Amino acid sequence: MELKQLKIDHEFKAAIQPLAPEELAQLEANIKSNGCRDPLVMWNDFIVDGHHRYEICQRLDIPFQTVAMEFQDRAAAKVWMLHNQLGRRNLNDYQRSEIALQLEDLLKGQAKERQGTRTDLESTPKPNIVANLPECDGAATEPPRQDKQDTEQGRTREAIAKTAGVSGRTVDKVKAIRAAAIPEVQDMARTGAVSIRAASQIADLPVEEQEEITEEITSGAKPTEVIKRHIHVAQNSGNNEWYTPGEIIQAAKAAMGGIDCDPASSDVANQTVGADVFFTQEQDGLILPWRGRVWLNPPYAQPLIAQFAEAVTSKYEAGEFEQACILVNNATETGWFQRLLSVASGVCFPSSRIRFLSPDGKQGAPLQGQAILYVGDDFQRFADAFGELGAILSRWSR
C-alpha cells in the first residue's frame, strides 16, 4: 500500500469527464468504508486512471495501490484513457460526444504526423488510434463521385461516434455547441440540465441572451419555456427547402470562377447551381469532404445552421477547400455568424431582401435581410461580382 505524491499530467486530467457531485460523494463514501480497492493506473509515473480516487485518498489520508501500464507514446496513453471512460454507464450523450471529439482530434494529429514523416526512415510504426474501433455497419455508403479516401474518412468518423455510443449527427451538434456556446451552457449540457437540442438553440443566440437564459434556468425556470421566449427571428424554423435565385448563383460563379461543390443541395437546386459535386440531405454534406470552390446556402433552422457554419470554418482552416460563397441570414449577433466571420475575407449585405424560391417556384418573403460571406484569397473579384447587389465590406476595412 502507498501514500505518496504522484505526478499529475494536466492534459491527461483535462481529458477525464468530471463526476457529478452525487457520484463523487458516493465514491468518497465507498472509499471511506472499504478503502481504495482499485489500483491507480500509471504510465511514465503519471496517473492515467484514478484521478478522482487519488484526490480523495490524498485528502483523507487513505492508502492506495498503483499498477503500471506500457504505451508507445502520449497519444496511445490518451486513447486508452478515453476508451476506458466510455465504459462508464453514467455518461450522457453530450459527454460521450466530447470523448468522440477528442478521439477524432487525436486521429487527425496522427494522420498529419504520418504525412510529415518519411516512410523510408521510419523503423517503428506509429500506433493506429482506430485499430480497436469496431466495424461501423451504419457508416455512410460510398456517395457518387467520391474516391476511396473520402469514403474511408466518413467511415472512420462514424466508427468513432459508434464506439462512443452516439450518432455522428449528435457529435456534430456537440461540436457546434462547443464552438458557439458560453461555458455555462456547455456545463448545463454536460451535466444534463438541458438537452443537446436545447443547448444547440441557446448557442445560436448572442452571448448576452445566453447569459440571461443561463441565469433563468439556474434560478429554477423550465429550460423549454425560457428558450422559447428568447428564440430570435433569425432562427428560422420553417421549411428549409428554399432555392437561391439564379442571379445570386451567377454572381458566385463570377466571384470564384465556377462552383465545384455544394454541400447542402438537392437535384432540383443543382439545376440552377450547376455544381460539379453536390450533397443531398440523405448524403449529409456535413460529414463528407468539400473540394475546390464551394457554394453554400445552408438550412436556416437550428441546429443545422450552426453545424454548417462550424463545418465551413473547420474545413477551410484544415485546407479542405479553396474558396466559398455562403448565403445566410444577416444575424450578425449570433455565435454561428461570428464564427463564419472569423474566416471570411469579405461580406456583401444586399440592399434588399433576397426572395428565395419555393419548390413550386413561388417567391418567399423573408423576415430579415441576408448576407453573402466570401472565404478565400481573391476579395477583389468577389467585390466586383457582388458590388451591384449591395454594400461590400472587407475584413481589412477601416
CATH of the domain at 38: 3.90.1530.10
Q: Quick check: is 110 in a domain?
A: no
Helix 207-218 with 183-191: angle, nearest 10 deg: 40
Amino acid 111: pLDDT? 65
CA-to-CA distance for 10 and 99, rounded, in angstroms?
Answer: 16
Cα distance between residue 339 and residue 313, in whole Å: 7
Q: What pLDDT, on the 0 to 100 scale, is given for residue 110?
A: 65
More confident residue, 346 or 359: 346
Q: List helix spans (H) across the chain.
A: 10-14, 21-34, 51-60, 74-85, 93-115, 148-164, 168-180, 183-191, 196-203, 207-218, 223-230, 246-256, 267-273, 304-317, 335-341, 379-386
Q: How deeply is 265 buried, as exposed, middle or buried, from its count of CB atoms within 10 A (0-12, 13-18, 19+)?
A: buried
- Of 15 and 151, the one with more pLDDT: 15
Q: Which of 133-147, 241-255, 288-302, 331-345 has the lowest mean pLDDT?
A: 133-147
User: Measured between alpha carbons, how far is 37 from 15 in angstroms, rounded to an integer?
Assistant: 23
Amino acid at 256: M
pLDDT mean over 285-305: 91
Average pLDDT over residues 164-179: 90
H or E element at residue 390: strand 390-394
* Length, in residues, of the chain: 398
Are 311 and 282 a contacting pair, CB within 8 Å? Answer: no
The last residue of a domain, from among 20, 40, 70 = 70
Please say if the pLDDT value at position 84 is more than 80: yes
pLDDT recorded at residue 119: 47
pTM for this structure?
Answer: 0.52
The answer to the question of residue 127 being in a domain is no
pLDDT digits (tens, 9 = 90+) for 155-168: 777 888 888 899 88
Cis bond upstream, residue 303 (ω within 30): yes
pLDDT score of 370: 92
Question: The CATH number of the domain where 319 resides is what?
Answer: 3.40.50
pLDDT band at 204 (very low <50, low <70, confident <90, very high): confident
- Domain end point (choices 39, 54, 70): 70
Q: Count CB atoms within 10 A of the CB of residue 315.
A: 19
Contacts of 3 (CB under 8 A, 6+ apart): 57, 61, 62, 63, 64
pLDDT surpasses 60 at 266: yes
| pLDDT tops 90 at residue 45 | no
Cα distance between residue 85 and residue 276, in whole Å: 43
Average pLDDT along the chain:
82
Note whether residue 201 is domain-resident. Answer: no
Q: State the Cα–Cα distance between residues 263 and 283, nearest whole angstrom.
A: 9
- Over residues 295-323, mean pLDDT: 92
Decide if 91 is inside a domain.
Answer: no
**8-state DSSP, 19:** P
Kindly give, in sequence order, each residue whose CB lies less than 8 Å from that of residue 128, ignoring residues fewer than 6 positions away.
110
Q: How confident is the model at residue 234 (pLDDT cuts 50, 70, 90)?
A: very low
Instruction: Please give the residue that has the higher pLDDT: either 386 or 243.
Output: 386
Kindly give, in sequence order, each residue whose CB lies less than 8 Å from that of residue 116, ignoring residues fewer than 6 positions away.
none
The average pLDDT across 292-310 equals 91
Strand arrangement of the beta sheet that strand 66-68 belongs to:
46-49, 40-43, 66-68
pLDDT at 353: 85
Higher pLDDT, 268 or 252: 252
Task: Please report whether residue 353 resides in a domain.
Answer: yes
The answer to whether residues 314 and 306 touch, using CB atoms and an 8 Å cutoff, is no
Residue 208 lies in a domain: no
> What does the angle CA 12 – CA 17 – CA 20 come to, to the nearest 5 degrees?
140
Higher pLDDT, 313 or 163: 313
Residue 224 lies in a domain: no
Count: domains in the chain: 2
Has residue 134 got a pLDDT over 60?
Answer: no
Among 54, 70, 86, the domain boundary falls at: 70
Question: Cβ distance 286 to 260 under 8 Å?
Answer: no
Please state, in angstroms and rounded to a whole number, the distance separating the CA atoms of residues 67 and 165. Answer: 29
Question: In terms of residue numbers, what domain contains 257?
Answer: 246-394
- The contacts of residue 29 (CB under 8 Å, 6+ apart) are none
Tell whether 255 is covered by a domain: yes
pLDDT on residue 112: 66
Among 293-307, 359-373, 377-391, the range with the most confident prediction by mean pLDDT is 377-391
Question: Given the C-alpha cell 445552421, which residue does it identify?
Answer: 305
